[in-house]
Chains A and B, each alone.
Chain A
Amino acid sequence: MPIVLSCESLEKRYGATVALGGVDLQVERGELLGLLGPNGAGKSTLTKIACGLVRASGGRAHVEGAPAGSAPARAAIGYLAELFRFPDWLSADELIALHQSLAGSDGGPAERAELLELVGLADARTVKAGAMSKGMQQRLGIAQALVGSPRLLMLDEPTSALDPVGRRVVRDLLRELRRRDVAVVLSSHLLSEVELVCDRVAILVGGQIVARGTPAELARPRGVEVETGTGVRSFPDAAREDVPRIVAELVSSGEQVYEVSLLASTLEDAYLEAVGAA
């Protein structure tokens, strides 16, 4: 698949502070990448460099083959910042129209209606941004980021203010974007959300990627649990191939076996391990 976002040895320093210490990362078309890491890990810096908001101190970043920050690169990007505000005097429809003008989109009213429908704000098109709840503003922000059909969507904590229904709307939207071959970089602290929708995850700590892979690759076996007539028995070092032997031994020793569970670590476990080890 074509590479949409490419970072090579990307560095950013703020004085003596290293925000990014040589990050290599690639995101393919239609791929949903989860960017995880504790506060100050460099997630927002990486996102902002890709969007041309922050200048890299070293290395290279390209969007669709164009240097990050250049006009062609910005034309390919949709962005929702972690901390954002929209002019409170603009309605949802007016805000999207403004961004259509800025992005050079000729989608017109049809695009505005479609985007507001996608994020569940079809009934709020005339509501001013200042009168919206934080959750509505976040959904409006996602709609704004989608103006002009970007090939790469950079979302920095897009669901932090959303209720469970709103999060589900965003999850469905992200899956729809993947179907449309839009690449998405989702920076989030909500590991369960990332685990549910992302194809691949990169964990940043101290400006370095300390772990990467699919959620399944990052998860590790944590043994076997067997529910017997005398209670639950744990075999933390056992693997899938050990199950017949364990069951046979338990049965031969007179235990009654009701259920066998293969245990695997969650993304949260993998994250905590990566962050703790770094």
Chain B
Amino acid sequence: MTGALIVARYALREAVRRRVILVVLVLTVGFLALYALGAAVSFDEVNTLAADDQLDERVLVGATLFGLAMFTTLFLGTVLGVFLTLGAVRGDAERGLLQPIVVRPVGRTSLLLGRYVGAALVCAVYVTGVYIAAMVITGITGDWWPDDPVGPGAGLVLAVLVITALSLLGSVFLSSTANGIAVFMVFGAGLAAGLLGQIGDALAVQTLQDVAEISSWVLPFEALYQAGLHALTQDTRGITGVIVQLGPFGGAQDAGPGLWLWSLAYLGLVGAAARAGFARRDL
């Protein structure tokens, strides 16, 4: 465990020294500024509308905007997690960075665990920060707050950790470029599966619903995002509730604790696969 902590600290220092975090923070500030502008303008527009008995425009705008912010946070967290891990094994080995470290007595498992913990820590802090910032911006500009402010954020963090783990697993077998492409295609596939499920629900097409169901088990990050969207307005009823549950970029979908348990088990399985692959890899 000590070896893993040393490697994790090394990974964190690398992220700071390479200015990865600085670049990400600058770009994120830009995103949040744009989001604040968009939210302010949108809520100002809502204030000019006549009151509707059946539709709460403020909730509709708040939940939609924040749902979009959640998707952006998921995407940015994914980019960060993937770029911190895409070359962790084969990429670093090809560049000759890995061998001097692997020869040390810390062991390959500790090395892998340390790289993951370092990247996961950076991603978790980042996603949590952006999520909270977007929530506060939405609350301040529109006086709208999620019904469940904690669950969706935690779900986003877990979703990014799942993708980061997949990226680390890919790095054992693929070169950096191939792994980056593969992970983003997997991310896109999960997103597409969520949209197909939404279409399947709307048109009552069982095949599409099945595809979405299977995908959510194979790629649980999309299901975590959908569950987060659902939790945003879980107490909202009526037409407003129906509309906001459609959600941006994949509909909101209640999942329950099984999804969380499966996601944690999924992390363990991906980690075990990465460990087994790395143990057999000649460097």
Specify which chain B residues have a CB less than 8 angstroms from the CB of A102 in the assembled complex: 3, 6-7, 101, 104-106
Highest count of chain A CB atoms <10 Å: which of B101, B103, B105 = B103
Which of these, B14, B96, B103, B105, contacts A89 with CB under 8 Å? B14
Tally B residues with Cβ within 8 Å of A.
22
Residue contact B96 to A83, C-beta cutoff 8 Å: yes
Residue contact A99 to B100, C-beta cutoff 8 Å: yes
Question: In the docked arrangement, what's the CA distance between A20 and B279, Å?
Answer: 21
> Shortest beta-carbon distance, B6 to chain A, in Å?
5
Q: Does A77 contact B (CB under 8 A)?
A: yes
Interface string of B233-251 (1 = CB under 8 A from A): 0000000000000000000
Given A71-B105, A99-B104, A102-B106, A86:B97 Cβ within 8 A: yes
Residue contact A85 to B96, C-beta cutoff 8 Å: yes
Nearest B residue to A89 via CB reads B17
Specify which chain B residues have a CB less than 8 angstroms from the CB of A90 in the assembled complex: 17
Which of these, B10, B17, B105, B283, contacts A53 with CB under 8 Å? B283
Q: Is the interface of B mostly helix, strand, loop or mixed?
A: helix
Question: In the docked arrangement, what's the CA distance between A96 and B63, Å?
Answer: 52
Residue contact B97 to A77, C-beta cutoff 8 Å: no
> Shortest beta-carbon distance, B111 to chain A, in Å?
9
Specify which chain A residues have a CB less than 8 angstroms from the CB of B97 in the assembled complex: 84-87
Highest count of chain A CB atoms <10 Å: which of B6, B104, B106, B107 = B104
Question: In the docked arrangement, what's the CA distance between A87 and B18, Å?
Answer: 10
Residue contact A98 to B103, C-beta cutoff 8 Å: no
Specify which chain A residues have a CB less than 8 angstroms from the CB of B283 in the assembled complex: 48, 53-54
Given A75-B105, A102-B106, A89:B18 Cβ within 8 A: yes
Question: In the docked arrangement, what's the CA distance between A48 and B98, Å?
Answer: 13
Tally A residues with Cβ within 8 Å of B.
30
> Shortest beta-carbon distance, A105 to chain B, in Å?
10
Given A87-B14, A89-B17, A53:B102 Cβ within 8 A: yes
Nearest B residue to A103 via CB reads B104
Q: Does A144 contact B (CB under 8 A)?
A: yes
Q: Does A271 contact B (CB under 8 A)?
A: no
Question: In the docked arrangement, what's the CA distance between A141 and B97, Å?
Answer: 11
> Shortest beta-carbon distance, A257 to chain B, in Å?
57
Q: List 21 A-B contacts (CB under 8 A).
A: A48-B282, A51-B99, A53-B282, A53-B283, A74-B104, A77-B103, A79-B99, A81-B96, A81-B99, A83-B96, A84-B96, A86-B100, A87-B97, A90-B17, A98-B10, A99-B104, A102-B101, A102-B106, A104-B105, A141-B100, A144-B100
CB-based closest 3 A-B pairs: A102-B104, A89-B17, A84-B96
